[in-house]
Amino acid sequence: MVKIIPFKAVRPRRAMAGLVASRPYEEYNEAELRARLDYNPYSFLHILNPGYKFQHKITGKDRFQLVKNRYLEFKEEDTFIQDEKPSFYIYRMETRDLSCCGIIAAASAADYKKGVIKRHEDTIESREVLFKDYLKTVGFNTEPVLLTYKDDEALQSLLNEIMQEIPEYEFATRQREMHYLWKVDDEEKIEAISAFFSKMEKIYIADGHHRCASSYLLSEENAKKNNGHTGKESYNNFMSYFISESNLKIYEFSRLVKDLNGYSKEEFLMLLDEHFRIENRGLQVFKPAEKHHFSMYLDGEFYALYLRKTSYDFSGTLSSLDPCILYEKVLRPVLGIKDLRNDERIAYIPGKKDILELKGKVDSGAYTVGFGMMPLNISEIKKVADEGLTMPPKSTYIEPKLRSGLTIYEF
C-alpha cells in the first residue's frame, strides 16, 4: 500500500509565482545566474544562493544557515504564504520536449524503509549525510523526489477533471514553457486520490535517490530525538511529485573520457574490435537506434559500434543494460576507469543535448573520446528495482525537472 499525504505548502502569492519559480540551480551558467539575481528580487535563486547578498560565494555547511535566513526573509516580506488546509497540488508542465502532469504531495519515509518505494540507483553515503544536515538546518524542502507509478485511467480521469478548474498558478517562462498548478483541498477529492494509491503495492523512484535517502535519514534522526514521537510528525514524510510512467521522458547520459589510457588510436580500435563490429562513419553523425549499438567520436570522426553478442554473456538483468556493457567491455578493462562516480577522467552529458556538444568537447581537446547509447526504458528500470539491483552511475537522465519555489514542504 502506497501512502500519499496532503500537506500545507508554503508557496508564492499568486501574482509572484512566475517571478519566484526558478529552474534547477545547476542549469544556470554564471552570467545567467548573475542576471537573475541582479534583476529579479523575488527569484528563489536568492534563497539558494544566499551569499549573493554580501557579494561573497559561500559553499558547504556555512551556506545552510544563510539559506534559512533568506527563506525567512521571503516569508517575512509576504512573498510566501502557507495554506491553511492540507492539500494535494496538481502540477502540469508543457515544454518543447514533453507535456506532463502529476501530484505534488508528501511520501512516507516508512514506505522507503519497507521497500514500497523502490530505487534503482546507488547513493553515496557522504552525500546522503550532507543533504540530511542541510534539510535539518534549513527546515524545509523545495525539491520533490520524482516518484512514478503504473498508468491508471481512472486516476488520470480524476486529475483531468480537476484540471478543468481555474488553476492557482498559470505562467509562461522565457524558455517557452507553460506551468500550471491546482490546489486540491476538497476532502472528498483528497480521499479519492489517496484511495487510488492505497491499492498500489509499490512505486518507483525516477529521480532523486539522494533526496529520498537523506529525507529518510532525517526522519530516523528526529524520531530518536523526539520522546513524544507519534509517527504523524511532518519529518516522517518528504515532498514528492507522483507521476505516471507515460508522463516520464527518459534520456541516456553520454560518456566523455579524457585520454585513451596510454593506447594509440590504432591500438584502441583494435582492442574494441574484440567485442564490437566497428564502422567508421567519418563526418556523418551517428546516433544509435537499437539496444547494444553505441556511437563513438574519436579524432574528428564518428564510429558505429555494434556489440558482438557471441563474445558477451547476458547472465542477468544488469548485464543486458547498455551502460553496463560499455563499462564492462570498454571503460573499465580498456580505458582503466573503475570508479564511474569519482574518476576525474570521465564526464557525462545528458542525452537530451545535441550530440554536437559531445563533438565540440572532444574537438576542443578537453576530452579524447566520447560515447553515446540508446536510453533505457521504464520496464528496464523497474526490473532492476524489483530485483533489488542498482544501475551504474549516470545510467538515466529523467524529466520532468520541476521548478524550485512553487511548493515548499516544512519539517
State how far the Cα of 285 lies from the Cα of 93, in Å rounded to an integer. 32
C-alpha triplet 97, 212, 224: angle, nearest 5°: 165
Q: Collapsing DSSP states into helix, strand and coil, what is residue 300? A: coil
State how far the Cα of 238 lies from the Cα of 232, in Å rounded to an integer. 12
Q: Is the pLDDT of residue 175 over 80?
A: yes
Residue 374 near residue 304 (C-beta atoms within 8 A): no
Q: What is the mean pLDDT of the chain?
A: 94
Percent of the chain with pLDDT over 70: 100
Question: pLDDT tens-digit profile of 96-148?
Answer: 889 999 999 999 999 999 999 999 998 888 889 999 999 999 999 999 999 99
Domain contains 382: no
Question: pLDDT tens-digit profile of 14-64?
Answer: 999 999 999 888 788 889 888 999 999 999 999 998 888 777 777 777 889
Query: What pLDDT score does 21 carry?
Result: 96
**225 and 342 part of one domain:** no
Q: Which cell is 136 given?
A: 535539518
Q: Which cell is 164 given?
A: 478543468
State how far the Cα of 240 lies from the Cα of 371, in Å rounded to an integer. 33
**145 and 217 part of one domain:** yes
Domain contains 271: yes
DSSP secondary structure, 26-53, as one string:
GG--HHHHHHHHHH-TT-THHHHSGGGG
Q: Is the pLDDT of residue 404 over 90?
A: yes
**203 and 307 part of one domain:** no
**228 and 294 part of one domain:** no
Q: Collapsing DSSP states into helix, strand and coil, what is residue 172? A: strand
- Our CA dihedral for 332, 336, 339, 341, rounded to 10 degrees, sits at -100
Domain contains 393: no
**211 and 170 part of one domain:** yes
- Of 197 and 124, the one with more pLDDT: 197
**17 and 61 part of one domain:** yes
Q: Collapsing DSSP states into helix, strand and coil, what is residue 40? A: coil
Domain count, the chain: 2
**87 and 199 part of one domain:** yes
DSSP secondary structure, 242-280, as one string:
EEEGGG-EEE-EEEEES--TT--HHHHHHHHTTTEEEEE
Domain contains 358: yes
From residue 198, how far is each of 116, 191, 203, 290, 397 by CA, in Å?
A: 11, 10, 11, 38, 29
Pairing of β 203-207 and β 117-118: parallel
Q: Which amino acid is at 191?
A: E
**276 and 244 part of one domain:** no
Tell me the whole-structure pTM to 2 decimals: 0.93
**Side-chain-side CA neighbours of residue 41 (13 Å):** 4
**280 and 243 part of one domain:** no
- Our CA dihedral for 293, 294, 299, 301, rounded to 10 degrees, sits at 50
Q: Collapsing DSSP states into helix, strand and coil, what is residue 225? A: helix
Question: pLDDT tens-digit profile of 245-293?
Answer: 999 999 999 999 999 999 999 999 999 999 999 999 999 999 999 999 9
**245 and 262 part of one domain:** no
**41 and 144 part of one domain:** yes
**Residue 325: CATH number of its domain:** 3.30.1760
Query: What pLDDT score does 320 carry?
Result: 94
Domain contains 99: yes
Q: Write out the residue range of the structural domain in which residue 315 sits.
A: 253-374
**137 and 286 part of one domain:** no
- Output phi, psi for 188, to 5 deg: -65, -40
